């Protein structure tokens, strides 16, 4: 039986966005982006959104007042890939780290505390406290 070697798939580099070309809409509504005359912007024929080219022609940004944060994409030659700021990517991991730290410290305190209240009371209190940051993360990522 011949051996099969799998090569790792490398992410494709972002390509410069050509204003003369048309692209698929990044909003996944099967629309087509075409240039708006005399501007450095694209319009979608399906969702009616307007997108501007930013950062030297490599980033497409949606002009919208309905989203709190900018939605941006990079074109890799075949499809749009989300381009996000550095802090937004690490926000989830920071929140999960805080929740796990709270749970570990709380469990250690609950197991070592003398008193009438049993460990089940402390477990319920810790779970309720852990739900608060989880709810905050859910609301932050909801769009």
How many CA within 13 A on the CB side of residue 94?
A: 8
Q: So what's the pLDDT on residue 42?
A: 92
Q: What is the mean pLDDT of the chain?
A: 76
Cα dist. 140→3, 28, 31, 88, 94 in Å? 47, 22, 28, 10, 13
DSSP 8-state class, residue 27 = T
pTM of the model: 0.52
pLDDT for 74-124, tens place per residue?
888 888 888 765 555 566 677 777 777 877 777 777 677 666 566 677 777
How many CA within 13 A on the CB side of residue 24?
A: 12
Q: Is the pLDDT of residue 39 over 70?
A: yes
Place of tokens 């730290």: 101
């Amino acid at each position: 039986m011949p051996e099969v070697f799998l090569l790792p798939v490398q992410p494709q580099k972002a390509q410069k966005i050509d204003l003369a070309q048309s692209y698929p809409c990044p909003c996944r509504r099967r629309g087509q982006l075409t240039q708006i005359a005399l501007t450095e912007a694209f319009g979608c024929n399906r969702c009616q959104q307007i997108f501007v080219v930013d950062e030297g022609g490599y980033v497409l940004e949606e002009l919208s007042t309905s989203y709190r944060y900018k939605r941006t994409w990079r074109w890799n030659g075949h499809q749009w890939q989300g381009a996000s700021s550095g802090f937004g990517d690490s926000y989830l991991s920071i929140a999960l780290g805080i929740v796990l730290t709270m749970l570990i410290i709380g469990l250690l305190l609950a197991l070592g505390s003398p008193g009438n209240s049993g460990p089940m009371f402390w477990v319920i209190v810790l779970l309720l406290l852990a739900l608060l940051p989880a709810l905050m993360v859910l609301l932050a990522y909801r769009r």
